[in-house]
Amino acid sequence: TTPTPSHPAADRTCSRCGAAFHCGIDDAGCCWCAKLPFLPREACAADAGCLCERCLRELLAAPRGL
């Protein structure tokens, strides 16, 4: 989601499911996603944006082949 005056950077849309969520990157406690493991590069599309917590957790839990 591109930030605009009526749509600040902290208001995001999940690039996977389209759900709206709050990105806390600029919050004092940081974003909730910083507390989770990194998603492996091969699990992400090159042009993917932020993910909501549900989608990020689903992708982290998905089995990956070697």
The pTM of this model reads 0.71
Which pLDDT score is estimated for 7? 47
Higher pLDDT, 28 or 1: 28
Which pLDDT score is estimated for 8? 55
Provide CB contacts within 8 A for 39, sequence distance 6+: 51, 56, 59, 60
Q: Is the pLDDT of residue 4 over 50?
A: no
Of the candidate ranges 5-9, 17-21, 32-36, 39-43, the one whose mean pLDDT is the lowest: 5-9
What pLDDT, in 10s, does the model give residues 15-30? 999 999 988 888 887 8
User: Could you please report the per-residue DSSP string of 1-23?
Assistant: ---BTTB-TTEEE-TTT--EEE-
